[in-house]
Structure 1
Amino acid sequence: IDRAIGEIGPLADLYLLKANLDFRLHRLENADRDVQALARFAGNSQIIALKAGIAFQQAGYEEAKKGYRLAIEKNPTWDNLARLAYWESKFGDIELADKLYGQAENEISAKEMRSYAWVELERGLLEFNRGRYQKAAAHYDQADKAYSGYWLADEHRAELLEAERKFDQAVALYGRVVGRAPQPEFQQALGDLFAFMGKPDQAKP
């Protein structure tokens, strides 16, 4: 991307692409510089949301909240609504977070069912964290119906089964998740579960 910018000039879309990539890779200083290069487009909702995301990652939580709200005022897309919902889930009103996630779902098109499933998982996580396991499971089921075979839905289900002390089922599901998405945190979760079950030999990689 840097090479392309050097060759054809700082086109706004290209800088926005670079800013989003830097943000996702947690290169926050680079992302902040990218956003500054887009200063004349500062009223764009995508740039506002990105600046808010950078502020959130840098512990500027109130600044982030203001940015998320402004982005929604400019353009109430599902992802802007979901960002504010996530903020509320961490620092504000859980019921409002769920309401915002519900509004986000209403903005998702039929071509974006993976996004719909992700939002359902977030709503399920709100219930899970409050010990409402049946309601959490209902959201996880809805996510799977929307986007069948979604490995992240299986990971959430495995966590729920573990909380319900259905350890053998949780192990089987974690194993399936690790087979499809061999990320360290999932391998660690499976290993920790084996250790908790008193099966340390199986916890070894």
Structure 2
Amino acid sequence: MTSEKSAPEAPALLPREQPRERILNTAYALFSQRGIRDVGVDEVIARSGVAKATLYRHFPSKNDLALAFLQMREERWTLGLVEAEARRRGSTAEEQLLAIFDVFGDWFRRTDFDACAFINVLLEMRPEHPLGQASIQYLDNIRSMVRGLAEEAGLEDTDSFARSWHILMKGSIVSATEGDMDAASRAQAMARDLIGRHRRGADGAVGD
């Protein structure tokens, strides 16, 4: 008498990406590379494989979709890449500040380098547009992150420091977009001097 064979277990099903996530991930890739105006809603619908009604149920307008893209950009880039990696690479606040440019140096050489979405959208849509206003806020959030590290490092006049530091960050991104793969190390050298000028008790320090 032959023994019955047990039926093979069904393979575990991988969780499917929800429609909203699929739409937003598609828009993220398109907006990051080509900007807002060049990407139409119909293209997002076609590439994400959802019905038009599904997209508009989650994002009532293209502006709403673009605003969600900017929020995701902050989560993935400002917080998930720049701040998280800088804190991981440096053991002190000063080292973490300087590590921002090490992170940039690696990012500039990636095949998916796409410059700064906040700057791109601000220039494309202009400051008076809601997306321009949102971009200004997200850029300010980056300065807040830098200012927090400067405060942890005990630097003086941290608001002025953060604004100057952010100029180095933005300038290096533009230079890398031009093709200067050493832009991050050039900016980092200037950043060391900036830290020195803002150390407490330093000769000529801002705020003395």
Q: TM-score, normalised by structure 2?
A: 0.29
- Where relative contact order (Cα < 8 A, 6+ residues apart) is larger, the structure is 2
Q: TM-score, normalised by structure 1?
A: 0.29
Structure in which a larger fraction of residues adopt helix: 1
Whichever of the two has the greater Rg, that structure is 2
